[in-house]
């Protein structure tokens, strides 16, 4: 397995773990305050990614 | 065989309301989506937004029409199957439904014609205003209906005197304890439904290599909206869960699949059970250890209250509530995962080229509708045996109508609605197969009855070309 493939797999797993963490935070596992903070951080992060990376070919 | 009118009345209402809710869910979501798309078109003047608008307007129009017709049926069914409920709850529910008609229906009816047929007849700003009014109308409509239904879940602001219900406070009837949470939960469900539909259709075109520009734009928009919305929905859902645990504990006890007064510690999170209501136990159960404590009590060793805490006569049927909740929650988790994956693929610049992801989006196209239906099953079956929680039992709300009459109308509803859904699916698939920007001029919404009866209105472009060649020769 090449280094780039390993790196890709590692990055994908990190992204999945970040997703699992945010899901649990938003459903209140760590309390209401962290749920609100988690929701705000996720939404802000999603908006930043969508604006900064508008997906190739979607804009013209 | 002796038929039980209370069972037939319930099956009939369950069938008609399940059918109905599909269409308002779509039209609430699509109306707001269309308003956003038209705003983007007005702002950027990019033709792709007009293409997206016209394409989804056709599907919105069909769904809206079926939603209105099947909604009217429900009001009549109060009288047909649940006359005692109508008699008792009329003073509280009646004005809410009347206000829905007076405010939302009138607003929608006033501007729907301009929205559907006015694109080339009025100025773009007036047309955008009409789209916004229709979108706002759908929100107002949902607010009244959710207020009425939430009042049935958590009745407030009324007193029972000599068997009759009297409204003491309209403010408390309207803003009852669950309405503030159930309304945003339902509206977000509608927006999610539209987002996944839009993304799914875009993904389908990309997989087929057709309408690339349209497909990329719709997929990008659908996944972006869906990702933000599902996070909000999960949060609202959790708050609503806590509210219902306080006001309707039996519903949430049934939804989690525990019978014991206090579950074992740590509690597992069950994904599959075979409940035995008569013996108040599960014949079989399969779950993930610790997860029940973590998700439901927010601690590692918390115990969960089971359905035996509710007297037997007041218990809902566990199986229905449990599986409806699992479908809704399971789909929410999948939607969340899809949202995270879409952000990751967007970041890597592979959102449109990852075929596995495009196929997932195609399969997720109806996910919003399925999750919404499951959510309503949780709400309605979890409230049983009450029709107005703690006030009126469902068996006491049934009309004194022979079971045969209810059965015959049920059969009629099934037949008529089968025609509706077939027609909707046939036309929706034809619109999708035909694609955007390939609408023959006479198939554009014009409001003309003459045009509506032309034979090729929704026909394929190939047949139109062949037909015109034949006519010329």
The Cα-based distances of B395 to B18, B85, B108, B261 in angstroms read: 20, 10, 36, 27
Phi-psi region of B211 (alpha: psi -120 to 50; beta: other; left: phi over 0): left
Would you call A27 and B340 a contact, using CB atoms and an 8 Å cutoff? no
Taking any CB pair shorter than 8 Å as contact, residues of chain B touching chain A are 46, 48, 212-213, 216-217, 219-220, 224, 227-228, 231-232, 234-235, 237-238, 294-295, 298, 333, 336-337, 339-341, 343-344, 346-347, 349, 351-352
- Backbone conformation region of residue B280, classed left if phi is above 0, alpha if psi is from -120 to 50, else beta: left
What's the pLDDT at B79?
A: 84
Distance, in angstroms, between B241 CA and closest chain A CA? 10
Whether B344 sits inside 8 A of A15 (CB atoms) is yes
Phi, psi of B468 (to 5 degrees): -70, -35
pLDDT average, residue stretch B50-64: 93
The C-alpha of A23 sits at a distance from chain B's nearest C-alpha, in angstroms, of 8
Q: How confident is the model at residue B454 (pLDDT cuts 50, 70, 90)?
A: low
Q: Which domain holds residue A45?
A: 15-52
Q: Please determine, for residue B395, whether its predicted confidence score (pLDDT) is greater than 80.
A: yes
B344 interaction partners in chain A (CB closer than 8 Å): 12, 15
Partner residue opposite B346 with nearest CB, options A16, A18, A53 = A53
Closest-CA residue of B relative to A59 is B217
The answer on pLDDT for B262 being more than 60 is yes
Q: What is the mean pLDDT of residues B136-164?
A: 92
Which of A37, A57, A59 has the highest number of chain B CBs within 10 A, making it the mutation to test binding with B?
A57
Contact A60 B349 (CB under 8 A): no
Instruction: Tell if the pTM clears 0.95, that is, is over it.
Output: no
pLDDT, position A56 = 57
List, for residues B397-412, the tens digit of each pLDDT value.
998 888 888 899 999 9
DSSP structure string for B345-412: HHHHT-TTT-HHHHHHHHHTTTHHHHHHHHHHHHHHHHHTTEEETTTEEGGGS--S--HHHHHHHHHH
CB contact under 8 A, B352 and A12: no
Q: Which of B227, B238, B351 sits opposite A46 (nearest CB)?
A: B227
Domain definitions of chain B by residue range: 5-257+306-439
A5 near B CB under 8 A: no
pLDDT tens digit string along B71-114? Answer: 888 888 888 889 999 988 888 999 999 999 889 988 998 999 99
Q: What's the average model confidence in pLDDT over B20-24? A: 94
Say if A33 falls within a structural domain.
yes
Judged by CB atoms closer than 8 Å, whether chains meet at A23 and B48 is answered as no
Total structural domains in chain A? 1
**Packing angle between helix B47-81 and helix B212-247, nearest 10 degrees?**
40
Task: Provide the pLDDT confidence category of residue A60 given band limits of 50, 70 and 90.
Answer: very low
Structural domain includes residue A1: no
Q: Report how far apart, in Å, the C-alpha atoms of A51 and of each of A48, B191, B338 are.
A: 5, 20, 18
Instruction: Phi first, then psi: give them for residue B351, nearest 5 degrees.
Output: -60, -35
Establish if A51 touches chain B: CB-CB under 8 angstroms.
Answer: no
Residue of B nearest to A20 (CA): B337
Residue A25 resides in a domain: yes
Report CB contact under 8 Å: A47, B238: no
Which positions ≥6 away from B410 have C-beta within 8 Å?
B8, B11, B12, B15
pLDDT of B271 reads 95
Which residue of B234, B236, B332, B338 is the best one to mutate when testing the A interface, meaning the one whose CB has the most A CBs within 10 A? B234
């Amino acid at each position: 397995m090449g280094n780039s493939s390993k790196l890709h797999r590692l990055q994908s797993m990190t992204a999945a773990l970040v997703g699992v963490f945010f899901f649990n935070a938003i459903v209140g596992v760590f309390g209401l305050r962290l749920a609100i903070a988690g929701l705000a951080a996720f939404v802000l992060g999603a908006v930043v990614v969508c604006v900064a990376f508008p997906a190739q070919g979607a804009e013209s | 065989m002796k038929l039980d009118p209370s069972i037939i009345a319930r099956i009939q209402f369950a069938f008609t309301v399940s059918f109905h809710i599909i269409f308002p869910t779509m039209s609430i979501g699509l109306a707001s989506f269309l308003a956003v798309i038209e705003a983007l078109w007005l702002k950027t003047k990019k033709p792709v937004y007009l293409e997206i608008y016209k394409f989804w307007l056709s599907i919105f129009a069909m769904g809206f029409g079926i939603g209105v017709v099947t909604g009217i049926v429900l009001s009549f069914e109060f009288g047909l199957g649940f006359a005692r409920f109508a008699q008792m709850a009329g003073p509280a529910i009646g004005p809410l439904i009347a206000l829905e008609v007076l405010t939302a229906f009138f607003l929608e009816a006033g501007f729907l014609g301009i929205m559907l047929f006015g694109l080339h007849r009025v100025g773009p700003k007036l047309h955008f205003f009409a789209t916004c009014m229709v979108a706002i109308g759908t929100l107002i409509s949902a607010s009244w209906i959710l207020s009425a239904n939430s009042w049935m879940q958590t009745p407030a602001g009324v007193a029972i005197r000599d068997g009759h219900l009297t409204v003491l406070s309209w403010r408390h009837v309207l803003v009852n304890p669950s309405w503030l949470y159930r309304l945003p939960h339902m509206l977000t469900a509608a927006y999610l439904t539209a987002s996944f539909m839009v993304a799914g259709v875009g993904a389908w075109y990309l997989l087929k290599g057709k309408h690339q520009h349209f497909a990329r734009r719709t997929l990008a928009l659908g996944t972006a909206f869906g990702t933000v919305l599902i996070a909000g929905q999960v949060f609202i859902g959790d708050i609503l869960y806590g509210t219902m645990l306080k006001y309707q504990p039996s519903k949430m006890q049934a939804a989690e699949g525990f019978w014991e007064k206090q579950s074992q510690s740590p509690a597992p999170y069950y994904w599959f059970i075979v409940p035995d209501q008569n013996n108040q136990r599960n014949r079989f159960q399969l779950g993930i250890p610790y997860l029940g404590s973590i998700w439901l009590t927010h601690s590692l060793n918390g115990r969960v209250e089971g359905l035996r805490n509710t007297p037997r006569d007041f218990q809902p049927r566990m199986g229905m509530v449990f599986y409806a909740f699992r479908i809704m929650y399971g789909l929410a988790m999948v939607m969340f995962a899809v949202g995270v994956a879409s952000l990751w693929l967007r970041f890597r610049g592979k959102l449109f080229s990852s075929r596995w992801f495009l196929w997932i989006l195609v399969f997720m196209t109806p996910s919003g509708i399925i999750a919404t239906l499951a959510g309503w099953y949780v709400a309605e079956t979890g409230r049983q045996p009450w029709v107005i929680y703690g006030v009126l039992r469902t068996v006491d709300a049934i009309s004194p109508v022979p079971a045969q009459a209810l059965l015959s109308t049920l059969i009629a509803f099934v037949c008529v609605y089968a025609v509706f859904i077939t027609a909707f699916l046939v036309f929706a698939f034809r619109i999708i197969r035909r694609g955007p920007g390939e609408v023959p001029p006479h198939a554009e919404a014009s409001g003309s009855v003459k045009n509506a009866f032309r034979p090729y209105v929704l026909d394929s472009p190939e047949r139109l070309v062949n037909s015109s060649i034949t006519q010329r020769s």
